[in-house]
Structure 1
């Protein structure tokens, strides 16, 4: 039976069940999927005198990566479970310049207008790896002139040609045609900001094992829609049939798509 969860409950469930936000499947990913490009772009802008805020810090992988390179590193996430894990990891790493809080910057949680949980002109940069986009509207208040916004966003893959052959509760989630680039540019325009640079990444992600494909599809449904998919064993015959009919020499390609962008506060 499907169990509907709201966004916070989904992330807290992942924090408890997985110990963090990561993908629990094995696949072969094509080069240049955007994640390394994001890391490199952020690090090019870091310096020892900066105050940086991470929107949607999750369980803290980028806290550990970026905080040692700056004077002050803050982060927030709407999942109390993720913030707790991230804080423990930062403490274990001996990071004394880190401050993490549980906060929701969405309009719905802030009387109808997104709000970053920071004072005016208090940071030099906001970074976000696959975090919320709502912070953009409040960024001019929080980021000092000359500061940067840098974010990596997931983009939906096109609907699979074999989607209708999947069990119904494992089929593609809605909004497969969502225009992430247009969404970001629209938010920047509302905030009085301009896009500085952007890059789109679209690379193959290959699956050779129907069980790993199940993990991918079921996780996407749970994360995206708040539904628990049917058990593996009941779905496995249909997934094996999809693999047999549609997988190429390297496996079944589901695509991995990302949108990386930056903007500067003038």
Structure 2
């Protein structure tokens, strides 16, 4: 990647990822020393999509689809898979990668594009914008569920926003897996991504011949409208 500084998580920053890495991908090397911490999210999602056969009654909205890996994997299994992202470059990649999905550019703020209007039976967000939670009342079908995975053990705005729109958390999973980064630059890049610059000195204090050990964390939430 080039070294010109961009504000982390700005549209321009994500656009650079799309151009240089071919999608929404972590720009650092890591080695997991246990199961992928997002497998809990995967299992909950697949449980709701059925046993590998097309379920035409299920309508899914994906918030923050990136370059479309989930849409490419699952869209052909449901009646409708709509998705959105705020970055035009990622939207274009998702449309190419997931031809069975209906992908739009949106920020989860302002008017809902016509192609994203519900109702949806399942709204999912894999490290995507939590602002979609505030739109659940107008997007969700009766009995719908919301499934989210975030990059830390706690993402407090998720339960707070769910409560604000009258939804309740039915399940929470906090997953922590031992991992390591092999080089100092990988650690610096990860700290930038996670907006944790204060953790950069950990490399000098704790890194060994195989790199720096740390914990890869995820917070998974399953919610539905409060009855």
* Cα distance change on mapping 1:218 and 1:249 into 2, 3 Å: closer
The DSSP-based 3-state class of the residue aligned with 1:204 is strand
Per-residue CA distance 1:54-83 (angstroms, 9 max, x = gap): 000000110111112211101000000001
Output aligned runs, 1:165-184, within 5 Å: 179-180=154-155, 182-184=156-158
Structure (1/2) with the larger strand percentage: 2
User: Could you say which residue in structure 2 is the equivalent of 1:138?
Assistant: 135
User: Could you say which residue in structure 2 is the equivalent of 1:188?
Assistant: 162
> Do the aligned partners of 1:24 and 1:216 also contact (CA within 8 Å) in 2?
no
C-alpha separation in 2, matches of 1:30 and 1:139: 36
Output aligned runs, 1:181-260, within 5 Å: 182-207=156-181, 209-210=182-183, 213-218=184-189, 220-221=191-192, 223=193, 242=204, 246-247=206-207, 251-260=211-220
Normalising by structure 1, we get a TM-score of: 0.72
Deviation at 1:116, TM superposition (A): 5.0
C-alpha separation in 2, matches of 1:21 and 1:14: 6
C-alpha separation in 2, matches of 1:8 and 1:224: 16
The DSSP-based 3-state class of the residue aligned with 1:255 is strand
Per-residue CA distance 1:126-177 (angstroms, 9 max, x = gap): 0111101011111122110111100101117xxxxxxxxxxxxxxxxxxxxx
C-alpha separation in 2, matches of 1:220 and 1:89: 29
C-alpha separation in 2, matches of 1:255 and 1:78: 29
User: Could you say which residue in structure 1 is the equivalent of 2:30?
Assistant: 27
Rg (Cα) greater in structure: 1
* Cα distance change on mapping 1:187 and 1:125 into 2, 3 Å: same
Deviation at 1:19, TM superposition (A): 0.9
1:10 and 2:31 matched: no
C-alpha separation in 2, matches of 1:218 and 1:249: 19
Normalising by structure 2, we get a TM-score of: 0.83
CA root-mean-square deviation: 2.7
C-alpha separation in 2, matches of 1:205 and 1:116: 39
C-alpha separation in 2, matches of 1:32 and 1:65: 20
C-alpha separation in 2, matches of 1:199 and 1:88: 33
